[in-house]
Chain A
């Protein structure tokens, strides 16, 4: 089948197998490899992208379901020329909100979606808002700090 999906502001138009998952469309067809496949079972959130602005796990969405819709991946957050990081990317870097980095693309996309719903979350709300994203390094403290920082709030030592 043919799908037309706007990815990071650019229209893509590709012939794919009907069963193609969105994450494979992004990684294998478009070559956008920031979006990771972690558990592949809708648990870990490493594959989180924005679909029409809302966080979804792209291992559990068919590319066909995104046909005619807009997808944002981590690559789409920063300025196109890469000169300016998205505020969430900057905060993750400054707060060291990552250890091995594998969960980071999904964490950042889920965090962007979280702040869209709740611009000034409490630490508790951040933890609940990110419960769909697992960090196997268990680096959650600084991840929460990053989201607090990105939302203009105090961080904890």
Chain B
């Protein structure tokens, strides 16, 4: 399988990328690690006329402390997120999740900004950033805007990013010392989650329980009112409408969400005194 004919352009800076996006609009797609986009192009589900390769832009690959937040460059690879000491200290959920995506080859190429912009409801990082109350910084020639994760994932593969905008940074409030947990259930090691749970502190976000990652609000509220991990976990599938597919029915997914959330919350409760939750 090969992609449709395309015109490849390698951007030399963020500014040049924004110029190219402004020039080509809907006809262009940004290529980062390419591990979501290139498979789509090989299946001809996507056929951009112009491919703007930002892969070499080292200026977008970093993890830095910034006051009460961690700033992550959009081009930081899963491999680098997984091993980054700053992230492991202050946002360990993201480091852990990044290390469980796909396989080593995928983690050598895939980037956080690419995963978020792609907005696959079965992907792990969108839910992890949602649980982390992250904010995404997108830039165009007009300037910058910051979009909270809560307002970013509009539906399957759908975000508010305009064709002339580029995700440049992910900002995550420090989670230093907070309990966290990541539970993913998949058929094979390298598969996307049938259902997954990311949790940090008292926030819970679910993977593949609808068209976009979703916070388990009912379970969160129960936790805040003093419910046990099992009691709160039993409410994890409330207000969700996961897909009904041959290998995983809606009811099976809801069951998984309840079981995995209970496991995640139990782990968090065991890591710190009850009451700090």
Contact = CB atoms under 8 A, between A and B. Distances in A.
A136 to B, nearest CB: 13
B100 to A, nearest CB: 10
Contacts of B42: 21, 40-41, 59
B46 interface: no
Contacts of B35: 42, 60
Interface in A20-69: 20-21, 24, 40-43, 45, 48, 51, 54-57, 59-62, 64-65, 67
Nearest to B188: A131
A110 B104 CA distance: 9
Contact of B190 (A56, A61, A117, A132): A132
A105 B39 CA distance: 22
Contacts of B10: 64, 67
Given A19-B6, A40-B42, A60-B34, A131 B189 contact: yes
A154 interface: no
B157 interface: no
Nearest to B107: A132
A60 B103 CA distance: 13
Contacts of B2: 19-21, 24
Contacts of B109: 56, 60-61
A3 B166 CA distance: 26
A59 B3 CA distance: 11
Contacts, number: 83
A18 B104 contact: no
Contacts of A18: 5-8, 51
Contacts of A40: 1, 42
Interface residues of A, number: 34
A113 B108 CA distance: 11
B104 A114 contact: yes
Nearest to A57: B105
B39 A54 contact: no
Contacts of A132: 102-106, 190
A41 B109 CA distance: 15
Contact of A19 (B4, B108, B189): B4
A62 to B, nearest CB: 7
B189 A128 contact: yes
A129 interface: yes
Given A54-B108, A55-B108, A60-B34, 12 more contacts: A18-B51, A19-B6, A20-B2, A41-B39, A42-B39, A55-B104, A61-B34, A62-B53, A64-B53, A65-B53, A132-B102, A132-B106
Interface of A: 1, 17-21, 24, 40-43, 45, 48, 51, 54-57, 59-62, 64-65, 67, 110, 113-114, 117, 128-129, 131-133
7 contacts: A18-B51, A54-B108, A56-B105, A60-B35, A60-B38, A132-B102, A133-B103
